[in-house]
Structure 1
């Protein structure tokens, strides 16, 4: 694994630049990107998050090129993801860690069983009671579950919040899907992950190469389904163990890389049509 953070040897940056140049020549290219912490800095009010202008500009260039698709793959509910990405009707979106998928204008419905709905209602009740008892904690309602946010809780109390949330959820059901993220723990009555979403997008676009970038532990499922031997590229944003081939420091580094990729893809498309 290479690392393009500023304190690493220049050879790492050269290797990633070379990988992007190769990716730009793919016959059918899919960019599947996490949003928060990858394209957009974290904010205290989730609905206020927006991609950095440089990233948005590069993605706009890329999605207008032939045989090139841009998709957002997030733990956010689909409705929230639509808002923060400012997606149009044709956008490819994967929300709720792969549970919700929107292929352009056609969404994916969620038909919960009676048992799932009953579990969801009980789960919401116990978790709401929990966050009400913890100053700074917030409950996020998701299509098939809930997220307990503790970003604004005293850092020393973070582990306690997670432990109490797990205990409360276990009292509702032992069959929940549980995910730990950055200052959030999520509980779902239906299982799926970002890797499932990336594979669905690959199948839909018939992509010959995929770029997936993400910053969180939940993005490791996305890195796990990549096929480097076929030209796929995985980029981890920030610190932490990862299966991605490459690493960058932050959202601004991703913005720079997307600009380079857009330039290289445009050059490839133009040379192919000459």
Structure 2
């Protein structure tokens, strides 16, 4: 995708791109990690950023006000798996904004008590789960993955009510995703993190790229910001597993390689 071909499919998205081009130093460019900067893999621990991500972000970051990764993963994990440690002008908000990594400094709050209770009880209630179901401990949240099960969607549907009941008992909420059910404290979402960062940085325009259901709150935030006079762009890293984002996006690209192309095109347009 050349800089000239970086065109949104909606009028609002085109206005957002124009605003970013006009005042890049006041722009906030945000990205989800898994499925957006990193291909989805069976084992979350094996996820790594697409090889084009770091070079592309290295070009873009000096040209705009803020480049941020907003992810449900722990911030330190995203930095490690993304290869972001050496990148300048990059902010990583982990655990939906509860954790923050910037300039090599990591800030992590104490986990609510419900998380410890889920950590203790979740293995017990999953004893009879289908083979291949795994638990990912994110520190401030825990995720149940079914991607490695023989029938991932069947396993997910079977476990949904059990996980929801545990979340209710422990004061947590369930965030569904691509063959995953995540139990996390309430009040944690990417939309809130994005809005807070826009306010903190005084951003006059915003772009966010995501791929999964957890990214819809960031889309909601952009819709709200537009009504408040802040132009925005919603980019979807598309997949066959989730279509809800593509239906609302201003620009739909083909997975992480497409997102890399968008980053490169933005850098070329602003250079």
Give matches, 1:12-161, under 5 Å: 20=17, 22-26=19-23, 27-65=25-63, 67-88=64-85, 91-112=90-111, 116-117=112-113, 119-134=114-129, 135-153=131-149, 154-155=151-152, 156-161=154-159
Q: 1:140 to 1:246 in 2, by over 3 A?
A: same
Kindly provide the CA deviation profile for residues 199-232 of structure 1, in whole angstroms up to 9, marking residues without a partner as x.
2322333222111010111101111111345322
* Deviation by residue 1:163-182 (Cα, 9 ceiling, x = unmatched): 22223444x33x31221111
Q: 2:249 aligns with which of 226, 229, 244?
A: 244
| 1:265 paired to 2:265 | no
TM-score computed with the length of structure 2 as normaliser = 0.81
State the Cα distance separating 1:78 from its structure 2 match.
Answer: 1.7
CA spacing shift, 1:12–1:73, aligned 2, 3 Å: closer
Question: Given the superposition, is the C-alpha separation of residues 161 and 217 from structure 1 closer, same or farther in structure 2, using an over 3 Å criterion?
Answer: same
- Based on CA coordinates, which of the two structures has the bigger radius of gyration? 1
CA distance in 2 between partners of 1:148 and 1:14 (Å)? 36
Kindly report which structure 2 residues correspond to 1:174-193, keeping only aligned pairs within 5 A, or say none. 175-193=171-189
1:39 deviates by 1.4
SS at match of 1:37: coil
Cα pair distance change 1:132/1:210, threshold 3 Å? same
5+ residue gaps, structure 2: 2-6
Could you tell me how far apart the structure 2 residues matched to 1:192 and 1:158 are?
22
Specify whether residues 162 and 14 from structure 1 end up closer, same or farther in structure 2 by C-alpha distance, changes over 3 A only: closer
Separation of aligned partners in 2, 1:215 and 1:183: 13
Sort the Cα spacing of 1:13 and 1:140 in 2 relative to 1 into closer, same or farther, 3 A. Answer: same
Distance 2:206 2:52 in 1: 21
Q: Distance in 2 between matches of 1:146 and 1:14?
A: 37
Total equivalences in the alignment: 251
TM-score normalized by structure 1? 0.80
Q: 1:19 to 1:167 in 2, by over 3 A?
A: closer
Do 1:54 and 1:259's aligned partners in 2 also have CA atoms closer than 8 Å?
no
**Secondary structure in 1 matching 2:52:** helix
Residue matched to 1:270 = none
Taking only aligned residues, the RMSD between alpha carbons, in angstroms, comes to: 2.7
**218-227 vs 203-212, which moves further:** 203-212
Residues 73, 97 of structure 1: 8 Å contact kept: yes
Would you say the 8 A contact 1:144–1:190 is kept in 2?
no
